[in-house]
Amino acid sequence: MSAGIRRLDTVGMRAATAALVSAGTRISLVPTMGALHEGHASLIRRSRADGHATLVSVFVNPAQFGPTEDFGRYPRTHEADVELAASAGADMVWFPEVHDLYPSASVGVAGTPRLGVAGTMHVCAGPTGEVLCGASRPGFFDGVCTVVLKLFSLSRAHVAHFGEKDWQQLVLIRQMAREFHLGVVVRGEPIVREPDGLAMSSRNRYLQPEQRSTALALHRTIEFARARFAAGERSAARLEEALLGAWRAEESAAPRALRLDYLSLREPDTLMPAEQLAPATRLVLAAYLGDVRLIDNAPLGGGSTSASEGGGA
Ligand code: AMP
């Protein structure tokens, strides 16, 4: 166990944050599902740089997994998570139990609550939660928003850090904080990538070696889009068509190994389909490699999306 960092259950976390709040200390929350990597570490480091007491939550949220998704096999690496959180500068790691967050959920035979949020009080993410990832994963963003609301209220956080890696999630959490007047400042941090450009993700560890190189198709597609934009393309329809062509070439190079879920050019703050392209227009995409689903996104212009060694892309 790392010295200096506190590993807390929900009761311990509540006591620790109550004491911090009465001492006038600001609290930053970094919500995660664990299997921590450099992407998570960048959020923790950002919080430390702001001088806040930094609380990392680790919770694999059953309410955001569909019945055929990877809830059961999602990596749970608590000891390594505490080590990584400590080395990035976190003060506390909080491991909530399912019943802390879902006290009225019915419990199934495996000891897990019934998947999904139906039947318990929950947040409805609304139309922005039904497109893109929400179209492929019905109810996913209801589950995400519900758990984040609970994490916010239990932790008493002043600030919360999220990765741009999950762009749609960031847009929705910002919307929830605004519409429900949560009083939590939601900060978005750049995507951290592997040296070859693959966006870091806890799910990358599912990839077989040959899938690992095929997965670079997502980053190549982003680079292709940014190059076209830099060369003067300003029509979303034309660029989307070109991107789908490039993607089909990627799929033929890896027959049956790669399948597009969606690829779209969107307005960054509303996720409405873009028409005229601008530097902030976001390319968002998701693809399956076998049964592993990966997502990525980037703005068409502005800062680099290339690899970095842990400090942010
Ligand atoms: P997760 O554990 O996958 O739910 O992610 C927890 C937080 O870390 C979310 O806000 C993610 O957007 C963020 N995150 C995950 N991967 C990355 C990455 N490669 N770069 C930056 N943030 C990330």
> What mean pLDDT is predicted for residues 187-198?
98
| Pocket lining: 39 vs ligand 1, CB cutoff 6 Å | yes
The pLDDT value given to residue 309: 35
> What mean pLDDT is predicted for residues 298-305?
84
Catalytic-residue membership of 40: yes
Q: What angle do CA 263, 187, 197 make, to 5 degrees?
A: 45
Is the pLDDT score of 146 beyond 50?
A: yes
Question: Residue 23 Cα, ligand 1 centroid: separation in angstroms?
Answer: 30
Is the pLDDT score of 109 beyond 60?
A: no
Is the pLDDT score of 169 beyond 50?
A: yes
| Pocket lining: 202 vs ligand 1, CB cutoff 6 Å | yes
Q: Thinking of the domain 6-189, which architecture would CATH place it in?
A: 3-Layer(aba) Sandwich (3.40)
Q: Greater confidence, 44 or 309?
A: 44
Q: Whose CA is nearest to atom 15 of ligand 1?
A: 39
The CA distance from 209 to 177, in Å, is 40
Distances (CA, A) of 129 to 140, 178, 247, 274, 276: 8, 16, 25, 17, 23
Q: What are the structure tokens assigned to 257, written together?
A: 């190994």
Question: Residue 6 Cα, ligand 1 centroid: separation in angstroms?
Answer: 22
Is the pLDDT score of 90 beyond 50?
A: yes
Q: What are the structure tokens assigned to 17, written together?
A: 């944050």
Mean pLDDT, the chain, integer: 92
The CA distance from 301 to 283, in Å, is 10
The strand pair at 258-266 and 282-289 is best described as: antiparallel
CB atoms within 10 A of CB 102: 24
Question: Residue 102 Cα, ligand 1 centroid: separation in angstroms?
Answer: 23
CATH fold of 202-299 reads Pantoate--beta-alanine Ligase; Chain: A,domain 2 (3.30.1300)
Q: Name the residue ranges covered by the structural domains of the chain.
A: 6-189, 202-299
Is the pLDDT score of 114 beyond 80?
A: no
**To 10 degrees, what angle do helices 167-179 and 140-155 make?**
60
Q: Express each pLDDT in 252-282 by its tens digit.
A: 999 889 999 999 999 999 999 999 999 999 9
Q: Express each pLDDT in 3-40 by its tens digit.
A: 699 999 999 999 999 999 999 999 999 999 999 999 99
What is the band of 304 on the pLDDT scale with cuts at 50, 70, 90? low
The pLDDT value given to residue 121: 86
> What mean pLDDT is predicted for residues 42-47?
98
The CA distance from 72 to 299, in Å, is 34
Measured from the CA of 162, which atom of ligand 1 is nearest?
10
| Pocket lining: 160 vs ligand 1, CB cutoff 6 Å | no
